[in-house]
Amino acid sequence: MVAIKKDPLERPTRLMREALAEKVQDNELEWVERFSRALDCLIRAIREHVTQAEAPNGALATLANPHQDAVATLDRRVRHLRTEHVQLLDDAGSLALFIESIRNRLLAKTFDNEALLDVDLIYGLSDEILTRLQEHQKAETKLFVEVVSTDEPGAGD
């Protein structure tokens, strides 16, 4: 029997999408805090994904040492995935800082009638991160499958 490994990003991604699907009612602070918890969970999951992928025996290490002729192309694709790791963490971290500043201003009530919670902006930034994360995962999987299928003896014969 083959054990199927569950994607560690699946639950945090779902939590983020659920948080984004919630309507912001009268209590903006409560929504911001729920969203912030979901975002923190996603950031931890992305960090775990990066740590696992970058480990000496992780997926990217496996891909970076292929037994095939297309090493330069493969190396470029692996470097791109690594760059995406950094960008995803940076963008999610920036969103977390933005949410934290909103939360702090809501707690301190220092917003003086200005529009504090730009829900459309938060939704847009979040959706962009989640979409890029999904595309990144697909690219990693595709590359890994390509390397494994061309690396096996008798594959492609």
User: For the segment 68-120, what is each residue's pLDDT rounded down to a tens digit?
Assistant: 445 667 778 888 999 999 999 999 999 999 999 888 888 887 666 565 678 88
Q: Which two tokens stand for residue 133?
A: 């994360």
CB atoms near residue 27 (< 10 Å): 10
For residue 138, what pLDDT band results from cuts at 50, 70 and 90? very high
Q: What is the pLDDT of residue 155?
A: 45
- Residue given tokens 């729920």 in the structure block: 34
Half-sphere CA count of 83, side-chain side, radius 13 A: 6
Q: What is the pLDDT of residue 58?
A: 77
Encode pLDDT of 121-136 as tens digits. 999 999 999 999 999 9
Half-sphere CA count of 107, side-chain side, radius 13 A: 8
Specify whether the CB–CB gap between 39 and 13 falls below 8 A.
Answer: no
Classify residue 26 by burial, with Cβ atoms within 10 Å: 0-12, 13-18, 19+: exposed
Encode pLDDT of 25-66 as tens digits. 777 888 899 999 999 999 999 999 888 888 887 777 766 655
Specify whether the CB–CB gap between 12 and 44 falls below 8 A.
Answer: yes
Question: Which contacts (CB < 8 Å, 24+ apart) does range 41-44 have?
Answer: 41/11, 41/12, 41/15, 41/16, 42/9, 42/12, 42/13, 42/15, 42/16, 42/92, 42/129, 43/89, 43/92, 43/93, 43/96, 44/12
